[in-house]
Amino acid sequence: MSTISRENKVFTVMVNFQCEPAEQAILVEALKISAPHFSNQKGFVSQNIHRSLDGTTVVSYLQWKSEKDHEACLSSPELMESGTDLIALMEKGKATMQVMPYEIVYTAEARGY
């Protein structure tokens, strides 16, 4: 379980993958393979992989302790190695990736959640 809140002292990053619906399951599996390597990075808080129901998009919602930890992750050779399946998909033109940091500007929730 991960939490989203304006009060959270975390650095939020969404990695947005676009793909053909026929490739989405392969993309998700490639992300799952690299996932444990994210969890081992310094400053890792959480990762949630989301697949769009229409098959065209996968979003990895990541939280880090700090921007510095996110930056370090981007240049981690260990992560590059764990992402070879993913890189292969992108090199074949079957997926695109966009890494984007975010700030939470508004939070609302129903009672009891």
Residues that bind its own copies (CB under 8 A): 1-5, 7-8, 12, 14, 28, 31-32, 35-36, 38-39, 44-54, 57, 59, 61, 63, 100-110, 113
Nearer to its own copies, 19 or 45 (CB): 45
Nearer to its own copies, 1 or 22 (CB): 1
Asked whether 18 and 54 are in contact (CB, 8 A), the reply is: no
Could you tell me the smallest distance in angstroms from the CB atom of residue 73 to its own copies? 13
Could you tell me the smallest distance in angstroms from the CB atom of residue 25 to its own copies? 10
Nearer to its own copies, 54 or 91 (CB): 54
| Six-digit token string for 99 | 């890494």
Whole-angstrom Cα distance, residue 94 to residue 112?
42
Q: Which has the closest alpha carbon to 74: 43, 105, 108, 110?
A: 43
Could you tell me the smallest distance in angstroms from the CB atom of residue 51 to its own copies? 5
Could you tell me the smallest distance in angstroms from the CB atom of residue 6 to its own copies? 8
Whole-angstrom Cα distance, residue 58 to residue 40?
22
Whole-angstrom Cα distance, residue 63 to residue 113?
20
Looking up tokens 């009891």, which residue turns up? Answer: 112
| Six-digit token string for 26 | 């392969």
Nearer to its own copies, 70 or 91 (CB): 70
